Amino acid sequence: MQELEPAVLQKINSWLQGSYDQEVKNEIQKLLDEKAYTELTDSFYRDLEFGTGGLRGIMGNGTNRINKYTIGAATQGLANYLKKTYPGEKIKVAIAHDSRNNAELFSRITAEVFSANGIHVYFFKALRPTPELSFAVRVLGCKSGVMLTASHNPKEYNGYKAYGADGGQFVSPADTAVMDEVAAIKSIDEVKFTRVDANIEEIGEEIDEQYLEKITALSVSPEAIKRQKDLKIVYSPIHGTGITLVPQALKRFGFENVILVDEQITPNGNFPTVIYPNPEEKEALTLALKKAKEVDADLVLATDPDADRVGIAVKNLDNEFVLLNGNQTGSMLINYLLSAWQEKGKLTGKEYIVKTIVTTNLIDAIAAAKHVTCYNTLTGFKYIGELMTKFEGKQTFIGGGEESYGYLIGELVRDKDAVVSSAFIAEMTAYYKDKGTSLFEALINTYVQYGFYKEKLISITKKGKSGAEEIKEMMEKFRTNPPVNLGGSKVITLKDYEKRVETDLVTGKTSNIELPTSDVLQFITADGSIISARPSGTEPKIKFYCSVNGKLANAAAYQETDRQLELKIDTIIKDLGV
């Protein structure tokens, strides 16, 4: 890059001339002197925006970075929104943070800005999981909440998840209204940073106790747990907040043989033992799997830094540990929950489950067979939470989730919850072991009963301004020239969630998609394969979700059928040209 664009230079100058710390100004000036134009452009070419996961980005100086000022402006904008939305009311908010570097600092800045605006802050005095923040918003009667986290992103990232009064992340039109309030702040001088001690109240163990008590009451198979209380469970919080509640939750459910991965139990924002603190990555579970082999465990659990996602490993038919993907774990959880509810006579016809449009249709098939309604939402757990709030008191939410390792059981929170999910995954394992089968064997039996659904996610990273433009071009190309054939099968349906139009490519007929607008494309083939293309809302990536399915005649045919479906996915990816 030879020079800075005028708009970028204007933003840089506003920081150099504004009420920013001198140290910050010196660092920006140093980059200017060194002509580090690419870094400066990436740091200043835009303002951070709320995506499906709120405000998230790399830490550093600039309008497109997470720092004291972008956090402060976001909080001031949120405070302005709350004061306009609830005029004359006493406004309360809850704030928590995970183990990331600067997360505690950013949480304190957030609390200070709220307090300076006359808003009462319930401030978790130490790190806590994201789902507990959602729970706190609900039980403390807050109008909003903020979680300082970048979830499973690399260590350079941090973020800011904003929640509404229902304990769910903001959805339309509130999300746009909050963004408008943030965008309306033209100067850092408009942000009130001066702390008002009287408006900040520390919380902690009392909320833990309420939360643990309520999730334990959700248990469906306590008898099976009693008989399988010695189930060997290896657990790793991957240096995150899961250590505060997951072991306690497992103990409350009745599990007495939980083995922790010692190298990863201490919270640490550098995540020193992993490349990425993401339980979707096999590498992140290396130490947990090693421990599991040493102790001959029944189950491996690992949660991400803010404990809203959980990855698991179980023994396969060859007695070797394998990782289940998010679709497999989600399907198993739903199948277990519906089966256990059915056995207990708890299904009344008013129950429902929820999944996202890119999550396996095996869940739809299971729900249909059990005569339980399955709703599909856009990607982002806030849409699942929105639906739960809409149906609260009218229908009963059993469980739900998304393929990216996020699940929820029960109606206590409005976000994905790795604490309650870990407890229920352990309960599910005990339930099947009590019936003389392993979780992996139960998965194969599920495929035999409902169809063998196999999914694969392809993520392509495109960083910075140029990367964002490349992703936009890729989506436009697929939108205007959809593939004709994928995996040897004709593409018969195109779903464009941005235009909210479904097109029958055989007849040309169109119909409306009754979901909010989102930059997602889905190609459905004649043989039932579904391929979704979606730019990530929280990372510089474009994602392709491939789902194929076939019949599994019996358990003995599992490996061959699995191989055939894998080959089909490989062909689809090749046909996509990505």
* Residues known to be catalytic: 151
Query: What letter does residue 418 receive in the DSSP assignment?
Result: H
Task: With residue 209 as reference, give the H or E element that holds it.
Answer: helix 205-216
Burial of 266 (0-12, 13-18, 19+ CB in 10 A): exposed
Distance from C-alpha of 388 to C-alpha of 168, rounded to nearest angstrom:
9
Q: Could you give the angle at the alpha carbon of 395 between the alpha carbons of 392 and 397, nearest 5°? A: 80
Report which of 93, 104, 80, 102 is spatially closest to residue 134, judged by C-alpha positions: 93
Distance from C-alpha of 187 to C-alpha of 189, rounded to nearest angstrom:
5
Burial of 470 (0-12, 13-18, 19+ CB in 10 A): middle
Token pair of 374 as six digits: 């399955």
Distance from C-alpha of 383 to C-alpha of 375, rounded to nearest angstrom:
11
Q: From residue 288, give the alpha-carbon distance in Å to each of 307, 309, 427.
A: 16, 16, 19
Burial of 509 (0-12, 13-18, 19+ CB in 10 A): exposed
Burial of 197 (0-12, 13-18, 19+ CB in 10 A): exposed
Distance of CA 424 to the CA centre of its chain: 18
Do residues 131 and 307 make contact, with C-beta atoms less than 8 angstroms apart? yes
Number of Cβ atoms within 10 Å of the Cβ of 350: 11
Secondary structure, 3-state, 84-107:
HHCCCCCCEEEEEECCCCCHHHHH
Number of Cβ atoms within 10 Å of the Cβ of 257: 15
Dihedral angle sign, alpha carbons of residues 335, 340, 345, 347 = negative
Q: Which amino acid is at 28?
A: I
Number of Cβ atoms within 10 Å of the Cβ of 387: 21
Query: What letter does residue 451 receive in the DSSP assignment?
Result: -
Number of Cβ atoms within 10 Å of the Cβ of 201: 16
Whether omega for the bond prior to residue 173 falls within 30 degrees of 0, making it cis, is: yes
Report which of 419, 416, 457, 417 is spatially closest to residue 539, judged by C-alpha positions: 457
Distance from C-alpha of 234 to C-alpha of 290, rounded to nearest angstrom:
10
Q: For 504, phi and psi rounded to 5 degrees?
A: -80, 110
Distance from C-alpha of 299 to C-alpha of 228, rounded to nearest angstrom:
13
Q: Could you give the angle at the alpha carbon of 222 between the alpha carbons of 221 and 225, nearest 5°? A: 95
Rg, the chain, Cα only? 24
Do residues 308 and 418 make contact, with C-beta atoms less than 8 angstroms apart? yes
Distance from C-alpha of 284 to C-alpha of 25, rounded to nearest angstrom:
37
